[in-house]
Structure 1
Amino acid sequence: MTIKSVFDHATEIPKNYTCFGPNVNPPLFIDEVPEEAKSLVLIFEDLNSAPLWTHWMLFNIPVTTTEIKEGEVPQGAVEGLANNHTHGYEGPCPKYFEGIHHYRYRLFALGIELDLPAASERDIVEQQMEGHVVAKADLEGICNSNSPMFA
């Protein structure tokens, strides 16, 4: 299974997808979902935050989804709670940190659909996923508070 976007793995996330731009999710392209998958889960996280910071979470994404469009949630997907108990995409925001932060879009193919409400926290989603992950893929990006694009 693969996940890609308009930026390459381990490169800077474009300004449009941060708090210095429109702060919308980037388009994400999904391929090679295993046949046994029944749903997908997407978690967008800041790897340099302690504790790990969840910027966006979707679950029960239909396995027929090949693209998550910019600024949209795929039809049929459920938007879970991110940190701060909010729904919706929260892009990188370098005004709140110094230096480089690493971000990861984690995509999981599950052998089940999750029976959870939209108000579900990440830990509950991950508990329900346990033992049901049939494939996973990651896309990493960086955000540098010292980048000229944030000046």
Structure 2
Amino acid sequence: MTRRPKWVVGWWRQDRGSYTLETVICVAVLIPFLGLLAAYGLAGIFDNSVEGAASSAARAASQAADADIAQVRGRTAAEAALRQDDRNCTSRSIRIDTSAFSAPPGQAASVTATVTCTIPLSQLTVPGLPGSKTLTASAISVVDQYADRK
């Protein structure tokens, strides 16, 4: 029988404790990665909420009889949509373009609503994460072509 070198015989016994070290390293890398993944997922959900608010604002504004009422209804609908989804924007902007209300009846017209919402990244599951993300969405809704416009 041939004798094996000493390093070949017990090489697996020298590996004690490495599983613990590997686990600690993996967890240290995995937890921040999962936190960022969750933050991006929540940013997508916030983005959908902003798009929904823009759609609601455009739809509500397009059903108004004149431009002034359309502005009020559009802003109210956007605010209600953001509040319903519990979106706490640090700053928000709601623009309703009602210039198409000046078109005569019988001519195609549409209303455009743009909603901008800035959210702090610390609100996205990772407390203490610096910075913010600005989400913007626009939506267009057609005004009834034959309705009386003022």
| TM-score normalized with structure 1 length | 0.36
More helix, by proportion = 2
| TM-score normalized with structure 2 length | 0.36
Structure with more contact order per residue of length (Cα contacts < 8 Å, sep ≥ 6): 1
Larger Rg computed on CA atoms: 2
More strand, by proportion = 1
